[in-house]
Chains A and B, each alone.
Chain A
Amino acid sequence: MSDVPVTEAQNRRELLLSTSPHLHSRWTTKQIMWFVVLALLPCVISAVLYFGLYQLLVIATAVLFAVGTEAVIQYLMKKPIAVSDGSAVITGLLLGLIVPPNFSLAFTALGSIFAISVGKMLFGGLGYNIFNPALVGRAFLQAAFPVAITTWTMPQFAVDSISKATPLAALKFDGVSTAMGPLFFGNVGGSLGETSAIAVLLGGVFLLVTGIANWRIPAAMVVGVIVFGGALWLIDSNYPNPIFHLFAGSFLFGAVFMATDYVSSPITGLGMWIYGLGISLILVLIRVFGGLPEGVMYSILFMNAFVPLINRYTRPRIFGEVKS
């Protein structure tokens, strides 16, 4: 009840009273969200380029149902319809980019509905969700339709050295390694947005330069994967080498777009390092020893659950506070 007049005051640009800290950002939430959408565009382009125009339909379905679900729920709960803030668009886009090529539109829609309703709105909407909504949707799809979500269609102009498997699965189950070139440009099997390292990096650089994504989380994840993956590789060179870890699968996509989600990542600098290193440790363990070829989704979701704890323990001391 009490926040209603504040919102109205904001809209009318009146004098606004609030508690400290009175920090100002260059951008509003809305602007940040649309910048992220912009940063995701290279991935959308690479998805269409490699897997065909149908993928545009998949991504559009994901976005449409994410935005629609949010609007419907906000209407039903008699809350202001806030889909124009773009957060639902991002969730939809992200979900659309982490499903396999030629994924069923019905499943995509279901994933979006689940992501927004259970992953986001049930927790209280934007800013309150513990887990990254897009990953919640993807995890639901993985549990509900395990076969469909691991059916990989190869890129249109794939040089057929590895057929019907992602680079990680090919290495894990068949012992076939993938060359760096295709991994970098994206001419390999995988989820829509994750295959092209260069497209992800393009978006990532944009987010880091504008300061929208904090550099610490991706940095911690890269350092973590090099250290943990490298240690295992040094012990036994049959394990994937750290560079392969970095470029194969959805590591980069997860590091740039998923782990840096404001709501579900820590707010302190030290916390971000702990969070990023934790993700990469679990990721390397799943990839090397786990039953699944890829573990970015589960490792991020797992560390999401620790974020409140991390925030609590890395809380900076108040100036002049005496350690008790």
Chain B
Amino acid sequence: MKKQVTLFTEFTKGLWDQNPVFKQVLGMCPTLAVTVSAMNGIAMALATTFVLTFSSLIISLIRKLIPTQVRIASYIVIIATFVTIVDLVMRAQFPELSKELGPYIPLIVVNCLILGRQEAFASKNTPIRAVLDALGMGAGFLIALASLGAIREILGSRTLLGVQILPDAFEPWLVMILPAGAFLTLGLMMGFLNFMVLRKKTREEQELLSRHLQEPKMSLAKGQEA
């Protein structure tokens, strides 16, 4: 039997516990390719969130109408509709940003994060939950892309959101705005975050153990629980 999850958790789980980039390692192509600057990362994440939210809503609404055999094709059609909207709007309203992101906006259609959420979540849950899940995942994606973009922009071109924040004396690390820099930064960030999580877990276990040793009777129940 599935545990009842609160609506609030449906949203917050995407921020950290199931963060699409750091925990699920989904959507690596835009993550690595467009995060040359913080602005690009934010724009990419917002575009993805838009597509994700609306396609989750639609798919969740018609989830009982879609035959299982053709579900992927149906998802793609719905996702592609919203990607086309984003692409056209960005081209009209933000032509420069659109030029910079280039083919990666149309490529949102094959972003595995979006298809993954439809398959794993939207097609099995109510519309409200699907939208909250999509917004949470989008926010998590935004956190990841913005931080990755910020680090790469600061070290690779001395600026943050276009404003120079490091002195001229600092020689920009060209490697950070090359593809290799994306892999390096993402790998180091993931490693660091997982290290912190692991350390927290070990500490909690040790605390439990020490309590167990101090008060054998009380913690026996706790140990069984865990």
Q: List A residues at the B interface (Cβ < 8 Å).
A: 104, 106-107, 118, 122, 140, 143-146, 148
Q: Select which of B174, B181, B184 is within 8 A of A145 by beta carbon.
A: B174
Tell me if B223 is interfacial: C-beta within 8 Å of chain A: no
* Bound-state Cα–Cα, A148 to B175, Å: 13
* Residues of chain B contacted by A106 (CB below 8 angstroms): 171
Q: Select which of B171, B178, B188, B191 is within 8 A of A143 by beta carbon.
A: B178
Tell me if B173 is interfacial: C-beta within 8 Å of chain A: yes
* Residues of chain A contacted by B181 (CB below 8 angstroms): 143
* Bound-state Cα–Cα, A241 to B13, Å: 64
Closest chain B CB from A57 CB (angstroms): 18
Which 10 A-B residue pairs are closest in the complex by CB-CB distance? Answer: A143-B175, A144-B173, A144-B175, A144-B174, A143-B180, A146-B174, A145-B171, A143-B178, A140-B175, A143-B174
Q: Which residue from chain A places its CB closest to the CB of B184 in the assembled complex? A: A118
* Bound-state Cα–Cα, A211 to B36, Å: 48
* Bound-state Cα–Cα, A253 to B170, Å: 32
* Residues of chain A contacted by B180 (CB below 8 angstroms): 143
Tell me if B176 is interfacial: C-beta within 8 Å of chain A: yes
| B172-206 interface (Cβ within 8 A of A) | 173-176, 178, 180-181, 184, 188, 191
* Residues of chain A contacted by B188 (CB below 8 angstroms): 118
| Chain A interface SS verdict (over half) | helix
Q: Which residue from chain B places its CB closest to the CB of A148 in the assembled complex? A: B171
Closest chain A CB from B151 CB (angstroms): 14
* Bound-state Cα–Cα, A274 to B171, Å: 40
Closest chain A CB from B193 CB (angstroms): 15
* Residues of chain B contacted by A143 (CB below 8 angstroms): 174-175, 178, 180-181
* Residues of chain A contacted by B176 (CB below 8 angstroms): 144
* Bound-state Cα–Cα, A136 to B180, Å: 13
Q: Which residue from chain A places its CB closest to the CB of B169 in the assembled complex? A: A106
Of the A-B pairs whose beta carbons lie under 8 Å apart in the complex, a sample of 14, sorted by A's number, is: A104-B171, A118-B188, A122-B191, A140-B175, A143-B174, A143-B178, A143-B180, A143-B181, A144-B175, A144-B176, A145-B171, A145-B173, A146-B174, A148-B171
Asked if B171 and A107 sit within 8 Å, CB to CB, the answer is yes
* Residues of chain B contacted by A148 (CB below 8 angstroms): 171
* Bound-state Cα–Cα, A146 to B184, Å: 18
| B75-100 interface (Cβ within 8 A of A) | none
For the complex with contacts A118-B188, A144-B173, A145-B171, 13 further pairs of A-B residues with Cβ separation under 8 Å are: A104-B171, A106-B171, A122-B191, A140-B175, A143-B175, A143-B178, A143-B180, A143-B181, A144-B174, A144-B176, A145-B173, A145-B174, A146-B174
* Residues of chain A contacted by B174 (CB below 8 angstroms): 143-146
* Residues of chain B contacted by A122 (CB below 8 angstroms): 191
* Bound-state Cα–Cα, A104 to B173, Å: 14
Q: Which residue from chain A places its CB closest to the CB of B180 in the assembled complex? A: A143
* Residues of chain B contacted by A144 (CB below 8 angstroms): 173-176
